[in-house]
Amino acid sequence: MVKLTFYGGVREIGGNKVLLEDDEGKIFLDFGYPYSKYRVFFEEYLKPRAGAGLLDLLAMGLLPHLEGIYRTDLETENLWQQFRRAGHYRKLEDIDGILLTHAHLDHSGHISFLREDIPVYATASTAFIAKAIQDSGKADFDQQVCYFTPRVEECLKGWKQGAYVASSSGDHQRRFGVADQSGLSEEARNFWGRATRQKKLDSQPLDDIGKCSFNLRCFPVDHSIPGACSWGIETSSGWVVYSGDLRLHGKRGKLTEAFIKEAAQLHPRVLILEGTNVDKKANIAEKEVYENAFKVINDAKGLVIADFPARDMDRLLTFLQVAIDTKRKLTILPKDAYLLKTMRLLEPEIPDIAQEDAIVIYQETTASKSPAQWLKKIYEEYSSKVVLAKDVASNQDDFVLCFSFWDLNELPSIQPGAGSLYVFSSSEPHNEEQEMDFRRLHKWLEHFGLRGFGLPVERNGKWEIAEEEKGLHASGHACGPDLLRVARGIQPEVLIPVHSEKPEFYVDNLSGSGIDIILPTENRTVEI
Ligand SMILES: [Zn+2]
Q: Residues 278-297: pLDDT tens digits? A: 999 999 999 999 999 999 99
pLDDT at 266 over 70: yes
For residues 154 and 163, is the Cβ–Cβ distance under 8 A?
A: yes
- Per-residue confidence (pLDDT) for residue 370, from 0 to 100: 81
Indicate whether 159 pLDDT > 60. no
Which CA distances in Å does 16 have to 75, 111, 151, 279, 338? 23, 11, 26, 20, 28
**CA 131/CA 176 separation, integer angstroms:** 11
Distances (CA, A) of 78 to 57, 214, 243: 15, 34, 38
Strands (E), 213-371: 216-220, 229-235, 238-242, 270-274, 304-307, 329-332, 359-362
pLDDT of residue 181: 77
Mean pLDDT on 166-183 = 86
Contact 42, 244 (CB under 8 A): no
Between the CA of 269 and the centroid of ligand 1 the distance, in Å, is 23
Task: Compute the distance from residue 526 Cα to the ligand 1 centre, in Å.
Answer: 22
Taking phi first (over 0 means left), then psi (-120 to 50 degrees means alpha), and beta for anything else, what does residue 19 get? beta
- What's residue 161's pLDDT? 60
Whole-number Å distance, alpha carbon 56 to ligand 1 midpoint, is 24
Q: What pLDDT was estimated at residue 64?
A: 96
Provide the pLDDT for residue 426: 94
* Structure-model confidence comparison of residues 390 and 182, the more confident one: 390
Ligand 1 centroid – CA 37 distance (Å): 14
* pLDDT, tens digit, 9 for 90 and up, residues 455-480: 999 998 899 999 999 999 999 999 99
Distance 475 CA to ligand 1 centre (A): 12
pLDDT recorded at residue 76: 84
Question: 511 CB contacts (<8 Å, ≥6 apart)?
Answer: none
- The rounded distance, in Å, linking the Cα atoms of 430 and 454 is 16
167-173 contacts, C-beta under 8 A, 24 or more apart: 168/199, 169/199, 170/195, 170/199, 170/200, 170/201, 170/202, 171/147, 171/195, 171/197, 171/199, 171/200, 171/201, 171/202, 172/116, 172/147, 172/148, 172/202, 173/146, 173/147, 173/201, 173/202, 173/203, 173/204
Q: Which residues surround ligand 1, an ion (CB under 5 A)?
A: 14, 106, 245
Q: For residue range 74-104, list pLDDT tens digits in order.
A: 998 889 999 998 788 999 988 999 999 999 9
Q: Give 206 Cα–ligand 1 centroid separation in angstroms.
A: 25
- Give me ligand 1 centre to Cα 309, in Å: 13
Q: What is the pLDDT of residue 162?
A: 62
What does the pLDDT read at residue 489?
A: 98
Distances (CA, A) of 407 to 87, 358, 400, 444: 44, 21, 14, 11
Kindly indicate the confidence band of residue 165, based on its pLDDT and cuts at 50, 70 and 90.
confident
Residue 130 has pLDDT above 90, yes or no: yes
Q: Which of 185-194, 223-232, 498-507 has the lowest mean pLDDT?
A: 185-194
In the reported structure, the alpha carbon of residue 238 is separated from the centroid of ligand 1 by a whole-number distance in angstroms of 26
Please tell me the distance from the alpha carbon of residue 166 to that of residue 170, in angstroms, as a whole number.
9
Q: What is the reported pLDDT for 160?
A: 57
Distance from C-alpha of 477 to C-alpha of 275, rounded to nearest angstrom? 8
Alpha helices for 275-410 (secondary structure H): 286-298, 313-325, 334-344, 373-381, 389-394
**Lowest mean pLDDT across 20-29, 359-368, 395-404:** 359-368
What is the rounded distance in angstroms from the CA atom of residue 350 to the CA atom of residue 340? Answer: 7
Query: How many angstroms does the Cα of residue 104 sit away from the middle of ligand 1?
Result: 6
- φ, ψ for residue 499, nearest 5 deg: 55, 45
Question: In this structure, are residues 224 and 402 in contact, taking their beta carbons and an 8 Å threshold?
Answer: no
Distance 388 CA to ligand 1 centre (A): 35
User: What are residue 458's DSSP bridge partners?
Assistant: 463
Question: Which positions ≥6 away from 363 have C-beta within 8 Å?
Answer: 334, 379, 386, 387, 388
User: Is the confidence at residue 388, as pLDDT, over 90?
Assistant: yes
Q: What does the pLDDT look like over 322-379, one tens digit per residue? A: 999 999 999 999 999 999 999 999 999 999 999 999 999 999 887 677 888 899 999 9
136-169: b (≥16 Cβ within 10 Å) or e: beebebbbbbbbbbbbeeeeeeeeeeeebebeee
From 68-72, 194-198, 250-254, the region with the lowest mean pLDDT: 194-198
Of 325, 222, 244, 210, whose CA–CA distance to 28 is shortest? 244
Beta bridge partners of 402: 306
User: For position 347, what pLDDT does the model report?
Assistant: 92
Is residue 306 very low, low, confident or very high in pLDDT (cuts 50, 70, 90)?
very high
Ligand 1 centroid distance, CA of 518 (Å): 20
Confidence at residue 396, expressed as pLDDT on a 0 to 100 scale? 97
Tell me how far the alpha carbon of residue 188 lies from the centroid of ligand 1, in angstroms. 26
Q: What SS3 class is residue 212?
A: coil
Whole-number Å distance, alpha carbon 164 to ligand 1 midpoint, is 31
d(CA 160, CA 180): 51
How many whole angstroms from 372 Cα to the centroid of ligand 1?
A: 29
Distance CA(450)–CA(67), nearest Å, equals 53
Counting every residue written for the chain, the total comes to: 528
Q: How many percent of the chain have pLDDT more than 70?
A: 98
Mean pLDDT, the chain, integer: 93
Single out the residue of 167, 137, 136 nearest to residue 154, CA to CA: 167
